[in-house]
Structure 1
Amino acid sequence: MLSKIVIFSVLLVCGFANRRELTQEQLKKLASWEDGKKHMWVESGQIEGDMILQPGQRNGLIDTRYRWTNNEVPYELDPAFNEEEAAAIHEAVKEIANVSCVTVRPRRAGEQNYVYVTGTDTGCWSWVGMLRGRQELNLQRRGCIWHEIIVHEFLHAIGFYHEQSNYNRDDHVTIIWENIIRGMEHNFDKFGEDYITTFGQPYDYGSIMHYHETAFTNNGEPTIVPHNDAWIGHLGLAEVMSEIDIIKLNKMYC
């Protein structure tokens, strides 16, 4: 698996400074989404499904250049969101402030660094960490306006990666490579310890940032199997931040 870490690191250095353009097939699938709150972010065509990274970007968990100033994440909603959708987004991001010193709040006039939330039919995705200036975060109006997905994407914007990309994940889960859609294996690559820190916390099966067990499956069978039998059938189903998510967020910013 070391080779996979090296390959992924090379890919990061070489590019991914822009959002990947989706194929017509991907766009059609997203635009006709009928799976309710099933993880649309996994299907959104970006790095690991929903992340956009700067070239050579280190994890916001380590590199303080990507931390939000004064622990505040200003955001602005595209006018396309209706009143109900806007209310759901405003309510969801309150969870972050309720459990940490990080405030996700509407942008004030003149603020230059902020998240601009769009609702295009391109899935659920976000840049990782604060980039400076306006940065987009997309919540497709049909498929992404769910509490846990909104929180998940804003945690990317704050600086978090997915739990199963941790350098130590193979001690806790088994990736079933033969069950992964051909060409999608890179979504299960790991980041090295120079990208990821666990802040001294154990692997978090219950993280709101964890893939579900059939992510990118080619046959309906699991692509991720937890070593802890109690979590079989429960990965990636968190509706709120886990206790460990909260500890990490507070260690990162507070």
Structure 2
Amino acid sequence: MTGVAVVTGASSGIGEATARRLAEDGFEVVVAARRIDRLRRLAGEIGGRAVELDVTDAASVRDFAAGFDRCDLLVNNAGGALGAEPVALSDPAEWERMFAVNVLGTLRVTQALLPLLRAGAGGTIVTVTSTAAAANYEGGGGYSAAKHAEHAFSETLRLELCGQPVRVIEILPGMVRTEEFALNRFAGDAERAAAVYADVDRPLTAGDVAACVSLAVGLPPHVNIDQLVVRPLAQAAQHKVHRGALFHH
């Protein structure tokens, strides 16, 4: 599958890596995020197009979508986590922000581009959620709730589009080490961010997740991967992480 691909949250991390991979796969890639300078550099490197977008702003999404006459692939990647406090101590403002970006942002962008995705031969919607969309953990209440909501969105949309030529795919990454995710979660505390990955043998990279997007999208158009859960070998489950070298026999 080739054509026009839109990647949100493309200024860093998984979004940036996915944009690069899709460009290699032959897509004309539109990279979207708030940090336009980063996007312009990326677009220049991959031969794509950079468009400023705030998924939490309805007018921004509307103006963004008006710039297209074709969209074959949408990768809903914009999102993130804020805070790791227990529910009893959580900041409701952080929960609101996580829902605004992860859930409502995904909803807005999908609604705006859906008419184009349904046109012609059809299209594909990929939403990058998290293993937190399937399992909960202490300190992850707000993020997990937002990702569960994104999962509900994807599953419902797939049901509602049944009979139409649009694939709805959900990618659920486990432990991924990127330059910003944990830093943003812990408000710039580099020590706390580093501790998340301490002694874990090769956490996933953004490129690993991008490869999963490429794999799912590259299958024949009648093949829909409902959910693709991907973790590093050292992480057997959300709550089960091996720290130290992996055993060899």
Q: TM-score, normalised by structure 2?
A: 0.29
Q: TM-score, normalised by structure 1?
A: 0.29
